[in-house]
Amino acid sequence: MRDEERVGATREALSELPRQGRFITFEGGEGAGKSTQISRLKDRLNAAGISAIVTREPGGSPTAETIRELLLSGKVKPLGAEMEAVMFAAARADHVDEKIRPALASGDWVLCDRFADSTRVYQGEAGVDPAFLDRLEAVAVGGYRPDMTVLIDVSPDVGLSRVAARSGASGSSSDPDRFETDTKEVHMRRRQLFLDLAASEPSRFAVIDGGTSADAVANEIWQAVRARFPVDLGHAGPAAPDARRDRIGG
């Protein structure tokens, strides 16, 4: 057995450990509203009596946050997309080991801003061989898959204008990160790749139109989560909007 297969096998075994909580990832292009919606979902879960943690990729653990700085600064861009994929995978492996798996084992739900689908889309779009990405994923996280993935779909025009408005409003002079500066065509291809992934795994993905108001998007996501986890959330299916609002306070 090769080293990578041995490590992958170990991680595969770890992925069989019991999960008490649910693992929900959020995906989408820049400025889709993932952070905004993760925060809202956490509030709704807490109101329903469920403990949830929020985390993100790249990052989420001290070592992975260090790798994040390198990746988003563009300092490692000269290494090429394949080696960037390796670094995203290394950060993910640490993040799963140090934060995600322990949280799920203790019963917390984990709401994660981006996960392995982002590598498939961003590094895949940049030309990295899908078979190589499969092997990397096996080494990094074994069979560790989200229970549900919320894809917030917005046009690149909308997403990037939100990111620009946010920078302007905060008065920050922060430059766009390494991936925000790509051309509109690249952003459009990523959007299509996310939609293709969702179509290939409809039981895991919920595709949500992110072009409406933050309140409307939050309601759509809550309905999708309730439909996906009816037992955890104590009902047999999605409730009518008015009844839902009464029970969960908005």
The residues of the shown chain that bind ligand T5A, judged by CB under 6 A, are 28, 30-36, 56-58, 72, 88, 113-114, 118-119, 122-123, 162-163, 166, 177, 179, 210, 213-214, 217
Least distance (Å) from ligand T5A to the CB of residue 126? 8
Least distance (Å) from ligand T5A to the CB of residue 157? 13
Whether the Cβ atoms of residue 215 and residue 205 lie closer than 8 Å to each other: no
Least distance (Å) from ligand T5A to the CB of residue 125? 9
* Sheet with strand 205-209: strands edge to edge: 52-56, 109-113, 23-27, 148-153, 205-209
Closest CA to 106 of 22, 162, 177: 22
Helix 81-95, helix 130-141: angle, nearest 10 = 20
Least distance (Å) from ligand T5A to the CB of residue 92? 7
- d(CA 128, CA 83) in angstroms, rounded, equals 9
- d(CA 83, CA 136) in angstroms, rounded, equals 11
Least distance (Å) from ligand T5A to the CB of residue 153? 11
**Of 220 and 233, which has the nearer Cβ to ligand T5A?**
220
Least distance (Å) from ligand T5A to the CB of residue 86? 11
Which neighbouring-strand residues pair with 207?
Answer: 151
- d(CA 113, CA 101) in angstroms, rounded, equals 16
**Of 183 and 213, which has the nearer Cβ to ligand T5A?**
213
Per-residue CA distances from 189 to 128, 129, 136, 224 (Å): 14, 16, 22, 26
Amino acid sitting at position 55: T
Helices (H) and strands (E) in the chain, counts: 12, 5
